[in-house]
Amino acid sequence: MKSRSRPAALTIAGSDSGGGAGIQADLRTFAAFGVHGTSAITALTAQNTRGVAAVHVAPSAIVRAQIEAVLDDFPVGAIKLGMLATPATVRAVAQALAARKRIPLVVDPVLVATTGARLASDDLADALRRHLLPRTELVTPNLPEAERLTGLRIRSDAMRLRAARLLLAAGARAVLLKGGHGGGREVKDLLLTENDEHWFAHARAKGRHHGTGCTLSAAIAAGLARGESLDAAVATGIAFVRAAIVAGYRPGRGALDVLDTQVAAATLR
């Protein structure tokens, strides 16, 4: 019997030994969307819900070899980038993707872990702007990441809009500026393209949640791999993450909740 085909997506990111974020969260999210998940691991982290104990960055040649092995075999419909850690890794990724410019690229510019641990070198933001933003379909920074990428101090909606415009000017086709790090009872996410500005507002969830950025960017990439428009993929991704947060659980001894993507998957049916 001939097996059914599925859309495929590639995540290029770091591994989270605690299972709440990174490659592990991305692959769970792809599966929730019925997308075949492939991966290229950029770094190994020793972490749990209490913190990051160690980080080992993979050699650039290995990162590139993983990407090329996947793209040479699988019909990848979208690529998600997460933790890249160093400019050398950024350059290796850019080189591996140079001949694949038609595949939509969703960039989650991971710089700091939820626990506060640094996951990137100081010059990573410059490397991202130079080598990857010009071919990015969507970049999904949180507020601190947007400040690092733009040099702005973002304290108002007007400044969020200005920062998003700067990222468009740097080459990204669209920007989803996440508002989870802002204050207040309401979280406001801004989706900005050259022709449209859309704000998503929802009540702030209680507690600290691990893997939200990874899960959101992976969900959007999965939607794009399934042939959805960017607007639809973003809206579905945000709703998916909200459902996963509400159903979140605490697997470790730390104060972080992990998203329940299995429960959230039911919202897609």
Domain segments of the chain: what residues?
8-268
Question: Which residue has better confidence, 81 or 119?
Answer: 81
Q: With 90 as the cut, is the pLDDT of residue 221 above it?
A: yes
- Beta-strand ranges (E) seen in the chain are 8-16, 36-48, 51-57, 76-81, 105-107, 138-139, 174-177, 186-193, 197-203, 208-210, 256-258
- Are 103 and 179 a contacting pair, CB within 8 Å? no
Q: With 60 as the cut, is the pLDDT of residue 117 above it?
A: no
Q: With 90 as the cut, is the pLDDT of residue 97 above it?
A: yes
Nearest by Cα to 238 from 185, 180, 160, 161:
180
Structure tokens at 179: 């508002």
pLDDT computed for residue 3 by the predictor: 65
pLDDT computed for residue 140 by the predictor: 97
Name the average pLDDT for the chain: 92
**Interstrand relation of 186-193 and 197-203 (parallel, antiparallel or unpaired):** antiparallel
- Are 38 and 13 a contacting pair, CB within 8 Å? no
What is the distance between the alpha carbons of residues 153 and 143, in angstroms, rounded to a whole number? Answer: 9
- Grade residue 5 by pLDDT with cuts at 50, 70 and 90: confident
Q: With 60 as the cut, is the pLDDT of residue 45 above it?
A: yes
Structure tokens at 268: 């897609």
Give the residues across from 8 on adjacent strands: 36, 76
Give the residues across from 257 on adjacent strands: 209
pTM: 0.94
pLDDT computed for residue 204 by the predictor: 86
pLDDT computed for residue 123 by the predictor: 84
Render pLDDT for 198-218 as a digit per residue (tens, 0 to 9).
999 988 888 888 899 999 999
Is 108 in a helix, a strand, or coil? coil
Is 101 in a helix, a strand, or coil? coil
pLDDT computed for residue 118 by the predictor: 53
- Grade residue 120 by pLDDT with cuts at 50, 70 and 90: low
pLDDT computed for residue 115 by the predictor: 46
Q: With 80 as the cut, is the pLDDT of residue 2 above it?
A: no
pLDDT computed for residue 51 by the predictor: 87
Cα three-residue angle 53-11-161, rounded to 5 degrees: 90
pLDDT computed for residue 27 by the predictor: 98
pLDDT computed for residue 66 by the predictor: 98
Mean pLDDT of 238-257: 93
pLDDT computed for residue 267 by the predictor: 82
- Considering the domain delimited by 8-268, tell me its CATH architecture: 3-Layer(aba) Sandwich (3.40)
**Interstrand relation of 174-177 and 186-193 (parallel, antiparallel or unpaired):** antiparallel
CA dihedral 241→243→246→251, nearest 10 degrees, is -60
Q: Is 156 exposed, middle or buried (0-12, 13-18, 19+ CB in 10 A)?
A: exposed
Q: With 70 as the cut, is the pLDDT of residue 119 above it?
A: no
- Grade residue 86 by pLDDT with cuts at 50, 70 and 90: very high
- Are 113 and 92 a contacting pair, CB within 8 Å? no
- Are 250 and 256 a contacting pair, CB within 8 Å? yes
Q: With 50 as the cut, is the pLDDT of residue 116 above it?
A: no
Any idea which of 3-7, 9-13, 104-108, 153-157 has the lowest mean pLDDT?
A: 3-7
- Grade residue 230 by pLDDT with cuts at 50, 70 and 90: very high
- The residue type of 219 is A
